Amino acid sequence: MSSPRTERSILFVHAHPDDEAISTGATMALYAAAGARVTLVTCTLGEEGEIHVPAYAGLASDAADQLGGYRIAELKEACTALGVTDHRFLGGAGRYRDSGMMGWETNLRPRAFWQADLDEAAGMLVDVMRETRPQVVVTYDEIGFYGHPDHIQAHRVTMRAVELAAAEGIAPAKVYWTAVPYSVLEAGIGEFADTEGNPFEGLTSPDDLPFGTPDKEIAARVDGHEFADQKVAAMLAHATQISPNSWLMTIAGNFGAEFMGVEFYELAVGERGPGGGPNGWEADLFAGLVI
């Protein structure tokens, strides 16, 4: 017997420590502050990440190979910044290793997440769903937002887990994929044109980017601008990965809450709830659900 759902519960499935902050930090902080149950599952320790702090360069996978363990602490600090208390690693810390970028030899390591048995990994995620009973699940689209193997695998594992959960009667009502609408990218390309450290330098259209979703395919726009400072703090907690003078921080500094605090999603499973604006975007990922 599964227990009835009496609270809002939302599960975020991310590939590496720092993805939660960069792509869904404001949304996580917003729902945590609103008293919803917010669970984060991170699939790897991010062992192959590039290190931006010279003092810690020796932790790298081709040196001491201690980055993964170090990033557990960074992630903990990031979760604290977001007000998120329920965080797990898929299968436990170190069960799956960061696969590195597509085509790297690290993709082939036996513990690489890219090599994970789909049903085994999905089964571990269903264990979390059984316990936390999320009505809403958030992960990436089928290209993993931008093509990283661990992001693609996080997508596959999550979608398989949703199927398995449905088979035992605990399906989430909605599954969302992270997205950035074309209109936001177009605005960004224009606004950043004269900015130092312009992340869109040389680009004239969103078609030149490895990500971007047509506005009409976006289902939800979560306005977490009140939580933008928490999101930035969470990003900076991943100090080995995100340097204070990175382009992400340039965005945070120049455009602040309006840019950093608003996050967008595509709806992959479930029915879209009531929304507003020209595209009928939901403002709440629980929109339309009776809880």
Please tell me whether residue 87 binds Zn ion under the rule CB under 5 A.
Answer: no
The one-letter amino acid at 281: W
Question: Exactly one of 19, 20, 48, 284 binds Zn ion (CB under 5 A); which one?
Answer: 19
Whichever of 169 and 210 has its CB closer to Zn ion, that residue is 210
Does position 16 interact with Zn ion (CB under 5 A)? The reply is: yes
Question: Which residues, other chains included, contact 167 with Cβ-Cβ below 8 Å and sequence gap of 6+?
Answer: none
Distance in Å, CB of 166 to Zn ion, minimum:
27
The size of the interface with Zn ion (CB under 5 A), counted in residues, is 3
15 binds Zn ion (CB under 5 A): yes
**DSSP SS3 for 270:** coil
Relative orientation angle of helices 118-132 and 149-167, to the nearest 10 degrees: 60
Q: Give min distance, CB of 50 to Zn ion, in A.
A: 12
Least Cβ distance, residue 228 to Zn ion (angstroms)? 21
Scanning the structure block, which residue is given the tokens 């479930």?
A: 270
In terms of CB distance, is 16 or 133 closer to Zn ion?
A: 16
Tell me which residue of 214, 15, 224, 238 sits closest to 125, measured CA to CA: 15
Of 26 and 242, which has the nearer Cβ to Zn ion? 242
Among 246, 217, 265, 267, which Cα is nearest to 30's? 265
Q: What's the distance, CA 230 to chain centroid? A: 15
Please give the structure tokens belonging to residue 131: 């316990």
Nearest-approach distance from CB 15 to Zn ion, in angstroms = 4
Burial of 143 (0-12, 13-18, 19+ CB in 10 A): middle
Nearest CB to Zn ion, comparing residues 19 and 282 = 19
* Nearest-approach distance from CB 242 to Zn ion, in angstroms: 12
Nearer to Zn ion, 15 or 78 (CB): 15
Q: Give the up-direction half-sphere exposure of residue 49: CA atoms within 13 A in the CB hemisphere.
A: 28
Consult the annotation and say whether 151 binds a ligand. Answer: yes
Binding-site residue numbers are 16, 19, 151
Q: Residues interacting with Zn ion, by CB under 5 A?
A: 15-16, 19
Annotated binding site for Zn(2+): 16, 19, 151
